Copies of this chain bind each other. A is one copy, B any other.
Amino acid sequence: MLKYQQIAIDIEKYIEEHALQQRDKLPVLEHLMAQFEVSKSTITKSLDLLERKGVVYQVRGSGIFVRRQSRKGYISLLSNQGFKKDLEEFNVTSEVIELTVCKPTKEAAHNLNIELSSDVYYVKRIRCVNGKTLCLEESYYNKAFITYLNKEIASESIFHYIKEGLGLKVGFSDIYLHVDKLNDEEADYLGLKKGDPKLFMESVFHLTNGQPFDFSKVTYNFEQSQFFLQANSHLL
């Protein structure tokens, strides 16, 4: 574990354990340097990381302050690892409807940057939270990277398997979303009515080396899903 990551974890834990509230002040940089016995840049890197995570904000000439996001049960749009972590206090389950090795659609091939003749795993799942259907998910995994997959794995966390089981490193993702009306099939799977609202999300996940390995299309049940996001203009 790198120093600046460990320090970030320690500081976040400190905030948590002392139940610090929005706008509470943290010790000054010099104090933190001494406390963790590291240079200024290392502490700064930890704090920048926490700032991006939405845990603190820094004000030049003033101090470092706590930023606490309040609402529970919201899915983070940035976590980039599926939503299992956001909803960990809830009971998330998956029902695998289909799992096959096949050729990608034109759309999937384009997003995965592969030939139409390549092999992909196609996975169709329904994901539930506390017994209620959260979303319908169709995913295409590049078989060159995701060399093996089965129903048992897919009924748990595929991302956990990719990272721990296959030892792959997940890097960045592109996410596109819009709102539309459910068609017959989607409504049926989600237990809603045709024409009801849906949030439709397309994601392309890449490994750290830039190779796309997963193209997913997810239809969310509007009654069960809510999302949050923390943005910070000066970090972009």
Contact = CB atoms under 8 A, between A and B. Distances in A.
Interface stretch (A30-38, A61-69, A95-103, A115-123): A61-69
A49 B54 CA distance: 17
Interface residues of A, number: 56
A161 interface: no
A18 interface: no
Interface stretch (A125-133, A143-151, A172-180, A183-191): A172-180
Question: Copy number in this complex?
Answer: 2
A11 interface: no
Nearest to A50: B236
B81 A233 contact: yes
Interface of A: 22-23, 41, 49, 52-54, 57, 59, 62, 65, 67, 69, 71, 74, 77-81, 113, 170-181, 195-199, 206, 208-210, 220, 222, 225-236
A220 to B, nearest CB: 7
A209 B61 CA distance: 10
Contacts of A236: 49, 52-53, 78-80
